[in-house]
Amino acid sequence: MGNVYNVQLFYTGQILKEVFSTCQKSTFARKKIDAFEVISIVQEIGINVDFYPSYMLAPDLKDGFLFDMYIQHKAHCIITEEKRLLKVRSRLFRVRNIKWLKENFPH
């Protein structure tokens, strides 16, 4: 039997800002991805959480909040396509890409 997880999507206002700015990039604009629609879906299915900044060892300090959320909300993993984050090797954190998510949670 494969892995069984209770999947929950956590988000913060900062993540919603990231979603909005990412959807504005030319690669997404060509695909006609509506940032407001994506944000609406995230808010509908996700859980808005607070986090308390404390983790200062992220590859990019602006991504430290992801690690804070991971620790503070006992997440199984961080799902990202950010290359710097995917290179993180630590016993504390599991960082996975979207391909991993699709393979482990087929729809």
Structure tokens given for 35 = 């940032």
Q: Which of 47, 88, 48, 81 has the alpha carbon at shortest distance from 67?
A: 88
Shared-domain flag, residues 13 and 61:
no
Residues 58 and 107 both lie in one domain: yes
3 occurs within a structural domain: no
Q: What is the number of structural domains in the chain?
A: 2
Same domain, 41 and 59: no
| Enclosing domain of residue 13 | 9-49
Check whether residue 14 and residue 42 sit in a common domain: yes
Give the global pTM.
0.64
Q: Are residues 45 and 63 in the same domain?
A: no
The reply to whether 96 and 63 lie within a common domain is yes
Question: Whole-angstrom Cα distance, residue 41 to residue 35?
Answer: 10
Tell whether 104 is covered by a domain.
yes
Per-residue pLDDT of the chain in tens (107 residues, 90 and over written 9): 455 566 778 888 888 988 888 888 887 777 778 889 989 999 999 989 887 777 776 767 677 778 888 888 888 888 888 888 888 877 888 888 888 888 887 65
